[in-house]
Structure 1
Amino acid sequence: MCGITGWVSYGRDLGTQDRVLRDMTETMACRGPDAAGTWVAPHAALGHRRLAVIDLPGGAQPMEVATPDGAVAMVYSGEAYNFTELRAELRGRGHRFDTDSDTEVVLRGYLEWGEQLAEHLNGMYAFAIWDERTEKLVMIRDRMGIKPFYYYETADGVLFGSEPKAILANPDAEPVVGLDGLREIFSFAKTPGFAVWEGMRELKPGHLAIVDRNGLRERCYWQLEVGDHTDDRDATVAHVRELLDDIIARQLVADVPRCTLLSGGLDSSAMTAIAALQLAEQGETVRSFAVDFPNQAENFRAIDVAPTQDTPFVHAVAEHVRSDHDDIMLDGAALSDPAVRAAAVAARDLPIGLGDRDNSLYLLFKAIREQSTVALSGESADEIFGGYPWFHDERKRDADTFPWLVDSPLTPSGLLDPGLSAQLDLGSYIGDNYRDAVAAAPLKDGETGLEKRMRQVCYMHLTRMVQTLLDRKDRMSMAVGLEVRVPFCDHRLVQYVFNTPWALKTFDGREKSILRGATRDTLPESVANRKKSGYPGSFDPNYLRAIQAQAAELIATDHRVLEFYDADRLKAATTADGATITHEQRGAIERSLDFATWLDQRNPVLKLS
């Protein structure tokens, strides 16, 4: 895992731009706290910050291979989980290796297969290769978009980076956000490839881009495909278990301390239990961590996506699998600390967070990083196996919009400034986005009714919603130098389950039937039968009072954020009683604080016409 950045310019000598390259690279310092490196050729400059996970002494970057026709250099972020097999295959093809790193396997894989290298990889990765032989830059992102990758075309080349902040550190990139950028920020309907900043693009999952003297072109090398599912229930459940056993074994490989993120839900518990079984065979005990809040039992309020508290289930799993477990306690004072909010917003680069859930995730990862460098997460299982409540709510599932936005407080259009709200017309923006998502969903010939609709709903989750959550997980973890791996995003598992009929995905009349069937033998019965409950929020009244006071200060000081929010409605939210405040009001307070923080940090040029 690392942070990467770079610059290709066919119209100037980048050997004179060392200072700018260093500035771009240093924005990625949190992603790579262990080492820094740069590489410069006349028309290409690469920067790298390293988080050492595999082959600690040998995986330094940028990595270069000299050929008779010119150098081939790479900056790489992520992990190739099949690097051992690929190294053996490449050795059989005559390649010699100087390190034990997966980085060198990827680089020499490019020498062997060129752009087709991407089709050989299993993992999470974002990397760029400058091929001096043809003066070509190749940029590749993993199939599910686990690792981020952005680029910005210039008059004579391209800028790229793991995060927008690396690109914006270059004077050739203008920090401009227009109306579409604001629509993206406020809509919670992530558009594939759209990066909010004008002129910037996010390389889509499963895509690669080539830059040469003829310009930039992007192409898809992997996408979800429809196919016949011929396995019966028992065979399907068995195959999912086989895949999970293989995936988790691969993702436990590291030369640094590892752990799991344990919420007590089916996903993280199954993952932790399988990891515990595998590590026990090696004489090791799995480490696990969970988030908790003081007085959560007294303050807890059940909501649709989080109907039960995590802690009793977390402890049941930890005891069952005999993990070395820690609860990370976070109180309202820590969650509402403006410095924590500033760190979370800086990590995300945009004010598109989830309030206390972002702040707590950042603090959780920060605490875990003191003891581990790699963590396995159960993220994305709900999107793959159909775990969210709205998958099973006919009204939300069949609505003419993204199901997760029905009755959701995530789009605070009612609390925006009325003039801005009219300009943004979020309803139309979300509607257009939704129709694009539906149209893109691949369907089997003759597929109709519920099967057709669930194919569309699953596709939307796997290409839209999952991107929001993976991006959040990556930014919050890498902001503290923690590598988080997501076993459920292995493309083999995703593709297999995508083609499983909906009736089979719900064969026991519940959500995530296949995953439950595949892992029930590893779990306490209470956890195997637990209803879906999302990442927990804090119900600490001290947190609410603190953020209300902070929002009131924005109003009192006439902060420029009030150009975007309805001051009267925001003021009403700051004085609402904790027992009666609505989810929309609390969300507006948190989003306005995030937005104000972002304006202060980034000072974007806003084009509102």
Structure 2
Amino acid sequence: MCRIHGYFNAVATPHEMCTVAALQRHGGPDATGMTRAPGWGLGYDRLAVVDPHGGQQPYGLGGPVQAVFNGEIYNHDELRRRLRARGHVFADRCDGNVVPALYLEYGEDFTDHLDGMYAVALVDRRGEVPRLLLATDEIGMKPLYLRWDEAARSLYFASEIPALLGFGPVGARMRDTALDAYLATRTPFGERTMFEDIEVLAPGTTLVCDLGGTPRRRRRVPAAAELPEPGRAAERVRERLREEVGRLLVADVPVALITSGGLDSSLVTALAAEHGPVHSFNIAYRGDWPFDERHFARAVAEHAGTEHHQVEIDPAGFPALLEETVRHLGQPNADPITLSTYALFRAVRQAGFTVALTGDAADEVFGGYARMRAAAGTAAAGGDWGTAYLDALSAAPAATRAGLYTDAYRDHLRDVPPLPEAARQDLLHGPGSVLERITRFELGHRLPAYHLRRVDHLSMAGSIEVRLPFCQRSVVALGRALPDALRIDGDQVKRTLYAAARGLLPDSVLDRPKQPFTLPVTAMLTPGTALWEHARDLLAPARLAADGRLDGNAVDALFDVQAHRPDDTTSSTLWALLVHEVWRERFQGAAGDLAPPAMAVAA
């Protein structure tokens, strides 16, 4: 696991490369390095997980293909045996060292042979001019951010946005319409970010560029769906998850389990415990708050026989914790769980662990969200499911958003949809059942943008590699192949996954009502708390007026509602606005300098 960065058809000094490396060193504290040649450079920071004493990057140094790699390749031993039989020599058994040889054998299709999570950058020097290749895994577990300058034909890239900003030519100017996109989906979807000149390479994408040329991108097609045998779906899911969890436990460093107390992480914990003693971690909040799951997590730990660690954080420290969390994310993410995610992984590292397995992505794969169930039910009754579903995705429903904006900003957004148009069209009008379209949308857009980037950045902020059994290709293919009724039927969600877990988990966990694994912000964002005072300061009318997009009186009205008649929609909106303002202050400068140029003209 590493952090990577570089440039192509551009110039960067060794000092700039070291600066970028330092800005993401938390994700790779064990080694750092770079290689440079006229017009290009590759750099990395390493978190040692496999073969800690090997893993010298860039891989292939001195050869015709040099590569830097972020991620984990779970089938690297098998690939290395195959490549050795073809005459390739390897200095160590680090998983990433197969990349140059694999590329030499299979060219741009080398990713077809990788089983894992990854972002790869390699330079091929065999042609008349060097060629750069960037590639990401199919589901987007390892993000890669880019800045492409069409006029200069130059490209810069890094694993994290704050690090990418360390390259001098990369600007931090905000995309003025991104506030609406953020509030509509809790973080920007698609390839665009909150920054005007920074994009993210889409999941399952290979980008190729010759020195002095223009990049071409190819979106790779996911593996074909695997239809389970009738009546054996739950058994097949259990077998597949057991196999993948076993593979993902293999490491040369200590491995832990994140156990929230819900079905998904509890199942991963139980399957991991079949392989021997394991350590489980749960996070909770000091005080008496709704949605406290610690007793469910402890029941799972006792059932599985884990050594359990209970992490507890104090809500009084949330303002400072929010500043750190937003800094590592690089752009706003409106899920309040970001705070506890960051704190939890920091505690896991302090306890001596480098790898953690989680239950993330089970809801997207197996149909676990209430909004999916509601949409399927509404569609079956012939109703308009799309509006309610999109509002359920948002930090602030469409009607609430419209009431928050100034007239100038509302007019500025008139022809700018918050969702990428192709994604919206496929969701609402594409082929397949409503649940099939929602699953395609959640896996292809929401999961990588809102969920996986958050997990990646906040785990690597604590020097923790997160492994995700539910994101493994075999599990995703099997889950996507399930008929709608084996995922959601009436009021029951994740039918097949619950059936697969029966007998492996306590009945108290299997039969409990589903609840969100989140920070109870409605209860915590109340007058007199440190979080409330922080929000009032950062969302003061004078600050908002300087920006020109939000109506300070409308935001004040939200505070009044939250103070006297708190509800989830109001608290979610205020939280999202607070997170955005923390990001704006950190990455855009002083409050008086924040009005986006395009808005200044539009107003």
Q: Same fold (TM over 0.5)?
A: yes
Equivalent-residue separation in structure 1 for 2:108 and 2:160 (angstroms): 23
- Contact 1:547-1:589 at 8 Å conserved across structures: no
* Counterpart residue identity of residue 579, structure 2: D
1:527 is displaced (CA, Å) by 1.4
For residues 577 and 228 of structure 1, what CA distance do their matches in structure 2 show?
48
CA distance in structure 2 between the partners assigned to 1:359 and 1:392 by the alignment: 28
Residue 501 of structure 2 is aligned with which of 519, 522, 541? 519
Other structure's SS at 1:392 match: helix
1:541 CA drift (Å): 5.7
Counterpart amino acid of 1:601? R
* The one of 176, 181, 184 aligned to 2:178: 181
Bigger drift between 529-538 and 488-497 goes to: 529-538
Amino acid across the alignment from 2:285: F
The CA deviation at 1:404 is 5.4
In 2, the alpha carbon distance for the partners of 1:174 and 1:493 equals 39
Deviations along 1:214-244, whole A, 9 cap, x unmatched? 320000223365x57361022x222212211
Give the drift of 1:32: 1.3
Amino acid at match of 2:349: R
Gaps of 5+ in 2: none
Letter in 2 for 1:582: D
- Partner SS for 2:72: strand
| Alignment-derived partner of residue 462 in structure 2 | 480
Pair 410,286 (structure 1): closer, same or farther in 2 beyond 3 Å: farther
Instruction: Say if 2:22 is the partner of 1:33.
Output: no
User: Structure 2 CA distance, aligned partners of 1:176 and 1:500?
Assistant: 44
1:365, 1:482 within 8 Å by CA — same for their partners in 2? yes
Aligned mates of 1:396, 1:466 — CA distance in 2: 23
Q: Give a deviation string over 1:197-228, Cα, whole Å, max 9, x none.
A: 22332111111100103320000223365x57
In the TM superposition, what are the counterparts of 1:275-354 in structure 2 within 5 Å? 275-278=272-275, 280=276, 285-296=277-288, 299-300=289-290, 309-335=292-318, 337=319, 339-354=320-335
**Structure 2 CA distance, aligned partners of 1:487 and 1:192?**
24
The CA deviation at 1:140 is 0.6
**Are 1:220 and 2:212 counterparts?**
no
Summarize deviations over 1:498-520 as a string: whole Å, max 9, x none: 12111222479721111122222
Partner of 1:122: 115
Residue 386 in structure 1 maps to residue 378 in structure 2 = no
Q: Distance in 1 between matches of 2:415 and 2:471?
A: 30
Cα contact 1:390–1:396 (8 A) shared by 2: no
Q: What is the match of residue 543 of structure 2?
A: 559
527-536 or 480-489, which deviates more: 527-536
Confirm whether residue 263 of structure 1 aligns to residue 246 of structure 2: no
CA distance in 2, matches of 1:528, 1:378: 15
Return the alpha-carbon distance in structure 1 between the equivalents of residues 387 and 142 of structure 2: 27
Q: State which of 138, 144, 149 in structure 2 corresponds to 1:149.
A: 144
Farther-moved stretch of structure 1 (117-126 vs 173-182): 173-182
Gaps of 5+ in 1: 301-307
User: 2:581 aligns to what?
Assistant: 596
- Equivalent pairs: percent with the same residue? 30
Q: Report the counterpart of residue 583 of structure 1 in structure 2.
A: 568
Tell me the equivalent position of 1:305: none
CA separation in 1, counterparts of 2:416 and 2:518? 28
Letter of the 2:404 partner, please give it.
L
What is residue 4 of structure 1 aligned with on the other side? 4
Matched, 1:569 2:554: yes
User: How far off is 1:408 after superposition?
Assistant: 5.1
* Structure-1 separation of matches of 2:175 and 2:489: 47
User: How far off its partner does 1:401 sit?
Assistant: 4.1
Residue 401 to residue 33, structure 1, CA distance change in 2 (3 Å): farther
DSSP-derived class of the 1:292 partner? strand
What is the rounded CA distance, in whole Å, between the counterparts of 2:29 and 2:240 in structure 1?
Answer: 33
Superposed displacement of residue 523, structure 1: 0.9
Contact 2:189 2:419 in 1 (8 A): no
1:33 & 1:473 partners in 2: Cα distance? Answer: 18
Partners of 2:303 and 2:461 in 1: how far apart? 32
Equivalent residues of 2:469, 2:475 under 8 A apart:
no
Q: Secondary structure at the match of 2:65?
A: strand
**Cα offset for 1:144?**
0.3
Partners of 1:193 and 1:407 in 2: CA distance: 18
Question: What does the per-residue CA deviation read over 1:567-592, in whole Å, with 9 as the maximum and x for residues that have no partner?
Answer: 12323344556562233332333233
Q: CA deviation at 1:477?
A: 1.1
The answer (yes or no) to whether the contact 2:316–2:531 under 8 Å persists in 1 is no
Worse overlay, 597-606 or 41-50: 597-606
Give the AA of the match of 1:315: R
For 2:303, give the aligned amino acid.
H
Which residue type is aligned with residue 403 of structure 1? Y
Which range moved further: 519-528 or 536-545?
Answer: 536-545
Counterparts in 2 of 1:553 and 1:434: CA distance versus 1, 3 Å:
same
1:98 aligns with 2:111: no
2:164 alignment partner, one of 158, 162, 167: 167
Task: Name the count of aligned residue pairs.
Answer: 575
